[in-house]
């Protein structure tokens, strides 16, 4: 049996060219080369594309889009098909300038309209391209030295570029806006010569001449009502929108990223957020200021990953209002797991791993029995759930990449992302249990050692232990003039930050701010906090 890699190279050498290698690789991703049935289906698809590509290569180039008309015998057009400005024009005559510069080309492919004034040529260009302003048509015609055929080639290329940019930038539109724009946009370029498909088929059987006239009339009447959209003004507004809210970034960097992402607002915001996002949400455990902001925005925009939201907060300098506006603009784009609410799984859920199946099936048992675990068991369970979470998110990313060619993978991506979030919740619960066991092992009744725990768990444990110590004092806490001279206080060992990533203390400042905000009297020393009482 041939290996998939060898078979892929063999097929690429057989079909490329005429098939483009990028198109070949995109089609190859949708088939499993280890299955003979799918290999046969792949060969059938490639054979059809190869035949179509060879047929297109054999066709002569037509810059005007009027192939059916120019393929008639002897190239003699009936008078009924001529336009009013072209009644006295001989289509068979070739432009002398074109013949001098391109004498080796077929005269039927390099012609212009003799006997026309510059105004007539501009009028015909505007008729064929209604969205082009008159001054632009005049300038292009002047640059082409009065050659109408060359001017049409330039305008066709510009129209194709505009359509491509609109297609790439449509990701930031909502479905309602996309539907409205699809009704408002007039056909451009070669599409401007085509009428409705059903109407064209019926008319073609009856009369070709009347069909061509109807297509020209329909194109002209529809194009007159087309609103002109200035893409550069829209791009400037998008760049200003991002630059004002992403105060950490320079406007030049925002503009560069905007053009790299095909002038798409949501794609630019996503790229900037991912560039500044942490690799894993666990990296934020030491930053207690950003954690509640991430939680708030994640609850509001459940479809956006937490790491992306953290990146939005970082580029907005932790201003939650600016990050909220960026997240709202990002949520209007095509989020990978946005279809999870409308997809119903009727079959059994996908199995990521036998170990994960066991964990998912007995999640409640894990939660109930986590209080009976020791430190080693709880830490091992937390690490296992973190690994399953990473595996699920990796599966979600892989499915999201495949969804670009097959939208059905969006449902699989949403399912894997949900599994990843569930595993993260279980991992955080076991991590809290492991933190409790570690603190119990290295603390006593009147002191608390927080070495080895994360900032959120340190804040939680400190709050619980200080309250428990205060209630255990009984009447001693009400003795006038007492304080630490009577009960000695409650000591919390927070460390000086030698084990932190950059050598800066994180647990101490966070715990101190929590105690101060809740009304405790706290004395600070190097690596130690002493709670002496509560303010009345």
**Comparing 461 with 294, which gets the higher pLDDT?**
461
Q: Residue 480: its pLDDT value, please?
A: 64
Tell me: pLDDT of 459 over 50. yes
- Beta-ladder partners of 529: 492, 524
Tell me: pLDDT of 141 over 70. yes
State how far the Cα of 426 lies from the Cα of 415, in Å rounded to an integer.
17
pTM greater than 0.75: no
Q: Residue 422: its pLDDT value, please?
A: 92
Question: Which whole number is the average pLDDT over 34-56?
Answer: 84
Tell me: pLDDT of 501 over 80. no
Q: Residue 403: its pLDDT value, please?
A: 87
Please give the mean pLDDT across all residues of the chain: 74
- What is the percent of the chain where pLDDT is above 90? 7
Question: Which whole number is the average pLDDT over 522-528?
Answer: 88
- What is the percent of the chain where pLDDT is above 70? 66
**Comparing 229 with 311, which gets the higher pLDDT?**
311
Q: Using omega within 30 degrees of 0 as the cis cutoff, is the peptide bond preceding 17 cis?
A: yes
Q: Residue 347: its pLDDT value, please?
A: 44
pLDDT digits (tens, 9 = 90+) for 411-442: 888 999 899 999 999 999 999 999 999 988 88
Q: Residue 85: its pLDDT value, please?
A: 43
> Strand (E) positions, 397-512?
447-449, 490-493
Closest CA to 415 of 348, 334, 363: 348
Q: Which helix (H) or strand (E) holds 521?
A: strand 520-525
Question: Which whole number is the average pLDDT over 405-409?
Answer: 87
Q: Residue 423: its pLDDT value, please?
A: 92
The CB-based long-range contact list for 423-428 (8 Å cut-off, 24+ gap) reads 423/356, 423/359, 423/385, 423/386, 423/388, 423/389, 423/392, 424/281, 424/385, 424/386, 424/389, 426/359, 426/363, 426/366, 426/367, 426/381, 426/385, 427/382, 427/383, 427/385, 427/386, 427/389, 428/382
Q: Among 98-112, 192-206, 372-386, where is mean pLDDT lowest?
A: 98-112
Tell me: pLDDT of 22 over 70. yes
Tell me: pLDDT of 90 over 70. no
């Amino acid at each position: 049996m041939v290996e998939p890699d060898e078979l892929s190279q063999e097929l690429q050498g057989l079909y490329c060219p005429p098939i483009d290698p990028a198109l070949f690789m995109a089609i190859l991703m949708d088939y499993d080369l280890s299955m003979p049935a799918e290999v046969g289906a792949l060969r059938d698809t490639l054979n059809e594309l190869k035949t179509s590509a060879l047929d297109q290569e054999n066709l002569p180039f037509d810059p005007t889009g009027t192939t059916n008309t120019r393929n008639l015998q002897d190239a003699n057009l009936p008078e009924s098909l001529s336009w009013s400005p072209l009644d006295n024009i001989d289509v068979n005559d070739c432009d002398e300038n074109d013949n001098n510069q391109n004498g080796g080309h077929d005269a039927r492919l390099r012609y212009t309209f003799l006997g026309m004034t510059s105004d007539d040529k501009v009028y015909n260009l505007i008729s064929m391209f209604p969205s082009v302003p008159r001054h632009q048509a005049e300038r292009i015609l002047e640059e082409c030295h009065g050659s109408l055929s060359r001017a049409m080639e330039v305008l066709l290329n510009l129209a194709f570029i505009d359509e491509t940019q609109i297609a790439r930038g449509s990701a930031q539109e909502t479905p309602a806006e996309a539907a409205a724009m699809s009704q408002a946009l007039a056909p451009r370029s070669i599409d401007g010569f085509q009428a409705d498909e059903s109407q064209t088929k019926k008319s073609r059987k009856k009369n070709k001449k009347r069909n061509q006239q109807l297509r020209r009339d329909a194109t002209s009447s529809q194009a007159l009502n087309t609103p002109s959209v200035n893409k550069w003004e829209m791009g400037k507004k998008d760049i200003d929108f991002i630059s004002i809210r992403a105060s950490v970034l320079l406007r030049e960097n925002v503009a560069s990223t905007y053009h790299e992402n095909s002038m798409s607002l949501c794609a630019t915001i996503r790229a900037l957020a991912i560039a500044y996002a942490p690799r894993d949400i666990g990296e934020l455990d030491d930053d207690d200021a950003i954690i509640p902001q991430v939680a708030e925005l994640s609850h509001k925009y459940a479809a956006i990953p937490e790491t992306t939201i953290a990146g939005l907060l970082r580029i907005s300098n932790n201003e939650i209002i600016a990050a909220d506006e960026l997240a709202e603009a990002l949520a209007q784009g095509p989020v990978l797991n946005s279809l999870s609410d409308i997809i119903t799984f009727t079959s059994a859920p996908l199995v990521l791993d036998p170990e994960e199946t066991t964990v998912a099936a007995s999640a409640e048992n894990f939660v109930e029995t986590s209080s009976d675990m020791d430190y080693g068991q709880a830490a091992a369970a937390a690490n296992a759930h973190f690994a399953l979470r990473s595996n699920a998110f990796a599966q979600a990313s892989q499915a999201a990449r495949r969804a670009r060619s097959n939208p059905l993978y969006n449902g699989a991506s949403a399912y894997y992302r949900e599994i990843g979030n569930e595993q993260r919740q279980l991992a955080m619960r076991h991590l809290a249990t492991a933190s409790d066991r570690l603190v119990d092992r290295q603390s006593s009744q009147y002191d608390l050692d927080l070495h080895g725990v994360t900032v959120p768990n340190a804040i939680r444990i400190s709050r619980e232990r200080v309250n428990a110590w205060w209630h255990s004092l009984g009447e001693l806490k009400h003795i006038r003039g007492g304080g630490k001279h009577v009960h000695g206080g409650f000591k919390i060992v927070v460390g000086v930050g030698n084990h932190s990533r950059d050598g800066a203390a994180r647990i101490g400042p966070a715990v101190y701010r929590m105690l101060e905000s809740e009304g405790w009297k706290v004395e600070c020393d190097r690596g130690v906090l002493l709670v002496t009482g509560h303010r009345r």
